[in-house]
Amino acid sequence: MLKHRHIPLILSLAVLLSASLLLGSCSTIEQVIQPKATATLPPVQQTSKLIIAEGRVVPKESTNLFFTTSGEVNEVLVKEGDQVNEGAPLARLGDREPYEATLATAQLEQLSAQQQLDDLKEKAAISSSQADLTRLAAENALSEAQEQLAAIDTDETQNRIDDARKAVTDVQDELKDAQDAFDKYKDLDPDNANRKDAEDKLKEVQDRYDHLVRERDRLIRDLELARVKVKDTQTSLDQAQREADARKDGPDPDQLALAQARLKNAQAGVTAAQAALDRLDLLAPYAGKIVKVDLVVGERILPSQTVMVLADFSAWYVETTDLTENEVVRISTDQKVKIIPDALPEVTMTGTVESINEGYVERAGDITYTARILIAQPDPLLRWGMTVEVHFEE
């Protein structure tokens, strides 16, 4: 009975054991098979580090030339194929008189402003010298006044003044007595002897009194004048010193700033007028060959209208057209390359990566970059715009 009762349990354990064995065998099989699959199907390895890109042949430099102002063509000084130097005149527009008149007016104003500034500085220098002379004269005058005051402002002078004051006081009493004596006889006949004696006495005392007063006042006045002169000369010296200090640094700051502003404005006017006149001339920005001329005398030209093409063929370059983001990170400046022109498949040239453009261009969904490559020894048959194949070796 017990065995029968445990049969289902035994069967269940057997099933579980079988399942475990089956899973374990499958895992074992998988572990065994996996290495075989890796061994029979290895991942694809890149066997070549060669990057191939397309490019176009371009000159060292090329520029579409145009006037920046409108006008009628007055002169065409070059033709296609001409070699020109930097700064060479290529074409000129007419109707120059208004521009030349404006420039002449601006130059006259500049000259006037410059003269005003020069005069201001020159006068300031003269004023500074004059102020220094005035200061020196004031110093001398003060020194003389101080010497005069020192000579007169002494104990002796003060004693003389005191004595003069006392003498005036004494005579003033005598004068009062003489006046009282005369008053007794003033109503008598003018020929009265007593009256005449009293009158003569009064006059004599009055004259002496007046003389003593004048002497006293002179002594006081001389001393006071000496003191006032020192004070005045000191004031004059202070003023002269302030004037000299103000002039030593040049013109008055406000006047100088105004004159400088006028000159600066005049110079800007000349620059603007000259620039306007210069815009009537088309000049070569660098030495090169005139590749295209697209204007004639008498033609009306609009600003920014291409009228000539200038190129510098002193060196040849290749600029790539399809270098992708995955490829550009694998190249660098100074890297050597091989160049094969499509039109000359038998020709292989070498070059050096000179620069890689920081910007990008999206072409057909791809992000592409331009590498500029200097061709070492360009084939004589190369032409502007030819397509080439560029081989970059890592």
* CA separation for the pair 61, 78 (Å, rounded): 19
How are strands ordered across the β-sheet holding 300-301?
281-283, 89-93, 71-76, 300-301
For residue 74, the model assigns a pLDDT of 96
For residue 190, the model assigns a pLDDT of 87
C-alpha to C-alpha distances, 291 to 60, 77, 91, 129, 217, nearest whole angstrom: 14, 14, 15, 66, 107
Asked whether residue 273 is assigned to any structural domain, the reply reads no
**Which tokens hold the place of 309?**
């093409």
Asked whether residue 166 is assigned to any structural domain, the reply reads yes
Question: Are 84 and 144 found together in one domain?
Answer: no
Question: Are 108 and 90 found together in one domain?
Answer: no
Last residue of one domain, picked from the residues 204, 239, 258: 258
Total number of domains constituting the chain: 3
Q: Of the spans 30-39, 217-226, 344-353, which averages the highest pLDDT?
A: 344-353
Give rounded-to-5 percent helix, strand, coil for the chain. Answer: 55, 25, 25
Q: Among 3-7, 55-59, 195-199, which stretch is predicted with the lowest mean pLDDT?
A: 3-7
Q: What are phi and psi of 345, to 5 degrees?
A: -65, -20
Q: Assess whether pLDDT exceeds 50 at residue 5.
A: no
- In this prediction, residues 54-65 reach a mean pLDDT of 97
> Measured on CA atoms in the order 267, 272, 278, 284, is the torsion positive or negative?
positive
For residue 41, the model assigns a pLDDT of 42
Question: Are 36 and 128 found together in one domain?
Answer: no
Asked whether residue 193 is assigned to any structural domain, the reply reads yes
Last residue of one domain, picked from the residues 258, 278, 308: 258
Question: Are 110 and 180 found together in one domain?
Answer: yes
pLDDT tens digit string along 121-180? 888 888 788 888 998 999 999 999 999 999 988 999 999 999 999 989 989 888 898 899
Question: Are 111 and 206 found together in one domain?
Answer: yes
Q: How confident is the model at residue 11 (pLDDT cuts 50, 70, 90)?
A: very low
Asked whether residue 277 is assigned to any structural domain, the reply reads no
Q: Of the spans 33-42, 200-209, 349-358, which averages the highest pLDDT?
A: 349-358
Asked whether residue 267 is assigned to any structural domain, the reply reads no
* CA separation for the pair 324, 320 (Å, rounded): 10
Asked whether residue 275 is assigned to any structural domain, the reply reads no
Question: Are 113 and 171 found together in one domain?
Answer: yes
For residue 185, the model assigns a pLDDT of 86
Question: Are 111 and 251 found together in one domain?
Answer: yes
CATH number, domain with residue 150: 1.20.120
Question: Are 56 and 175 found together in one domain?
Answer: no
Q: 322 CB contacts (<8 Å, ≥6 apart)?
A: 53, 54, 363, 366, 368
The more confidently predicted of residues 45 and 228 is 228
Question: Are 121 and 230 found together in one domain?
Answer: yes
Q: Closest by alpha carbon to 370, among 338, 327, 307, 306?
A: 327
Tell me the residue range of the domain where 304 lies: 50-96+286-393
Last residue of one domain, picked from the residues 205, 239, 258: 258
* CA separation for the pair 244, 246 (Å, rounded): 5
- In this prediction, residues 228-234 reach a mean pLDDT of 94
Q: Assess whether pLDDT exceeds 50 at residue 94.
A: yes
Dihedral of CA atoms 237, 243, 248, 254 in degrees, nearest 10, equals: 170
Q: Among 46-50, 115-119, 181-185, 259-263, which stretch is predicted with the lowest mean pLDDT?
A: 46-50
Asked whether residue 374 is assigned to any structural domain, the reply reads yes
Question: Are 25 and 63 found together in one domain?
Answer: no
Q: Assess whether pLDDT exceeds 90 at residue 231.
A: yes
Q: How confident is the model at residue 325 (pLDDT cuts 50, 70, 90)?
A: very high
For residue 387, the model assigns a pLDDT of 98
Asked whether residue 272 is assigned to any structural domain, the reply reads no
Question: Are 251 and 119 found together in one domain?
Answer: yes
Give the chain's end-to-end CA distance (angstroms, integer).
84
CATH number, domain with residue 335: 2.40.30.170
Question: Are 120 and 90 found together in one domain?
Answer: no
